[in-house]
Structure 1
Amino acid sequence: MRVIVADDDPDTRVLNMRAIAHEIPDLDIVEVADPASLEQALSAAPDLLVTDYDLRWTDGFQILTRVRDAHPHCHAIMVTGTGNEDLAVRAMKAGFDDYIVKGRNQLKRLGLTARLVLERGQTQRALSENRDLVLAELYHRLHNNLQIVISLIRQTEKTLRDAADRQQLADLRQRIQALSSLQEQFYRSPDFRRVEFGAFLGELAERLSALAPIPVTLVAEIEAVELPVDVAVPFGLLANEIITNAVQHAFSDEAQGGRMRVRLQRQGDRCVLTVEDDGRGFESGLRSQPAGMGLHLVERLAQQIDGTVNIEDTHPGTRVSVGVAL
Structure 2
Amino acid sequence: MSGKCASPRCACRWGGSTRPTFYATLIFGNSMRTGLLLFLLSLGISSWAQPLQPIDYDSLYQRRMAGLSPVQRLVWADKYVSYLNEHSRFADARTLLQASLKVAQQAHLTAWTARFYELSGYIEMTNGNLVRSIDFFLQALAIYQATYAFEQQQKLCVHIIGVYSSLQNLAKRQQYNRQAATLQREYHQLSMLPFTYADKADDFVNVGKLDSALAYGRKAMTVLWVTRKWQQFYSHLDGYGVLLTDGGQYHEAEKTFRQCLAYSLQQGDPRRELYAYIHLPEPLLHLGRLDEAAHYAKLALSRIVHDPERQDEHRTQVYESLTHIAEARGQYKQALVYERLSNQYRNAMLSVEKNRQIAEVEARYQTAQKQARINQLSIDNQRQLTQISWQAVGLIALIALLALALWQYRVIRQVNARLRTSSQLVFENNRQISQQSDRLGVLMQELHHRVKNNLAIVSSLMRMQSKRLDDPRAVQAVQDGQRRVEAISLIHQQFYQTENLADVPIKTYVTELTENLLLGYGFDPNTFDCQVEVADIHLDVDVAVPLGLILNEVLTNAFKYAYTNVANPKLTVRLKPVTDSPATGLLIEVQDNGPGLEGPGRADARLERSTPTVTQRKGSFGQRLIRELTGQLGGEMSLTTQHGTYFRLWIPTPV
TM-score range, shorter chain: 0.5 to 0.7
Answer yes or no: is the 8 Å Cα contact 2:586–2:650 preserved in 1.
yes
Amino acid corresponding to residue 307 of structure 1 in structure 2:
G
1:258 aligns with 2:569: yes
1:317 aligns with 2:644: yes
Q: 1:191 to 1:261 in 2, by over 3 A?
A: same
1:133 aligns with 2:442: yes
Q: CA deviation at 1:240?
A: 0.7
2:620 and 2:517 mapped to 1: Cα distance?
15
Q: Secondary structure at the match of 1:192?
A: coil
Amino acid corresponding to residue 253 of structure 1 in structure 2:
N
Matches within 5 A, 1:141-152: 141-152=450-461
Q: CA deviation at 1:305?
A: 2.0
Q: 1:225 aligns with which of 537, 544, 548?
A: 537
Q: 1:225 to 1:125 in 2, by over 3 A?
A: farther
1:176 aligns with 2:485: yes
Matches within 5 A, 1:22-101: none
Amino acid corresponding to residue 498 of structure 2 in structure 1:
S
Q: How many residues align?
A: 209
Residue 304 of structure 1 corresponds to 632
Unmatched 5+ stretches in structure 2:
1-66, 68-428, 610-618
Q: CA deviation at 1:252?
A: 1.5
Q: CA deviation at 1:217?
A: 2.3
Percent sequence identity is 30
2:475 and 2:637 mapped to 1: Cα distance?
29
Q: CA deviation at 1:271?
A: 2.1
Q: CA deviation at 1:188?
A: 1.8
1:293 and 1:147 mapped to 2: Cα distance?
23
2:492 and 2:540 mapped to 1: Cα distance?
13
1:236 and 1:122 mapped to 2: Cα distance?
41
1:296 and 1:276 mapped to 2: Cα distance?
21
1:237 aligns with 2:565: no
Q: 1:164 to 1:272 in 2, by over 3 A?
A: same
Relative to its length, the structure with more strand (as a share) is 1
Q: 1:294 aligns with which of 622, 625, 632?
A: 622
1:191 aligns with 2:466: no
Answer yes or no: is the 8 Å Cα contact 1:245–1:293 preserved in 2.
no
1:293 and 1:213 mapped to 2: Cα distance?
24
1:288 and 1:262 mapped to 2: Cα distance?
18
Q: CA deviation at 1:267?
A: 1.7
2:546 and 2:517 mapped to 1: Cα distance?
18
1:121 and 1:312 mapped to 2: Cα distance?
61
Q: 2:472 aligns with which of 163, 174, 177?
A: 163
Amino acid corresponding to residue 476 of structure 2 in structure 1:
Q
Q: CA deviation at 1:149?
A: 0.9
1:319 and 1:121 mapped to 2: Cα distance?
58
Q: 1:144 to 1:277 in 2, by over 3 A?
A: same
2:519 and 2:647 mapped to 1: Cα distance?
20
Relative to its length, the structure with more helix (as a share) is 2
Q: 1:123 to 1:201 in 2, by over 3 A?
A: same
Q: CA deviation at 1:129?
A: 2.9
1:271 aligns with 2:586: yes
Q: Deviations over 1:148-201 (max 9, x none)?
A: 111111111111122221111111111111111111001123221111011010
Say which is worse superposed, 194-203 or 125-134, in terms of deviation: 125-134
Q: 1:207 aligns with which of 498, 516, 520?
A: 516
Answer yes or no: is the 8 Å Cα contact 1:214–1:258 preserved in 2.
no
Answer yes or no: is the 8 Å Cα contact 1:302–1:309 preserved in 2.
yes
Q: Deviations over 1:251-271 (max 9, x none)?
A: 2215x1421111121221422
Residue 88 of structure 1 corresponds to none
Q: CA deviation at 1:272?
A: 1.8
Q: CA deviation at 1:130?
A: 3.5
Q: CA deviation at 1:134?
A: 2.8
Q: 1:236 to 1:124 in 2, by over 3 A?
A: farther
Q: 1:162 to 1:238 in 2, by over 3 A?
A: same
1:227 and 1:196 mapped to 2: Cα distance?
7
Answer yes or no: is the 8 Å Cα contact 1:213–1:248 preserved in 2.
no
Residue 281 of structure 1 corresponds to 596
2:542 and 2:430 mapped to 1: Cα distance?
28
Residue 194 of structure 2 corresponds to none
Unmatched 5+ stretches in structure 1:
1-44, 46-119
Answer yes or no: is the 8 Å Cα contact 1:211–1:247 preserved in 2.
no
Q: Secondary structure at the match of 2:590?
A: strand
TM-score using structure 2 length: 0.29
Answer yes or no: is the 8 Å Cα contact 1:276–1:318 preserved in 2.
yes
Q: CA deviation at 1:308?
A: 2.1
Relative contact order (C-alpha < 8 Å, sep 6+): which is higher?
1
Q: 1:128 to 1:231 in 2, by over 3 A?
A: farther
TM-score using structure 1 length: 0.57
Answer yes or no: is the 8 Å Cα contact 1:289–1:295 preserved in 2.
no
1:308 and 1:137 mapped to 2: Cα distance?
36
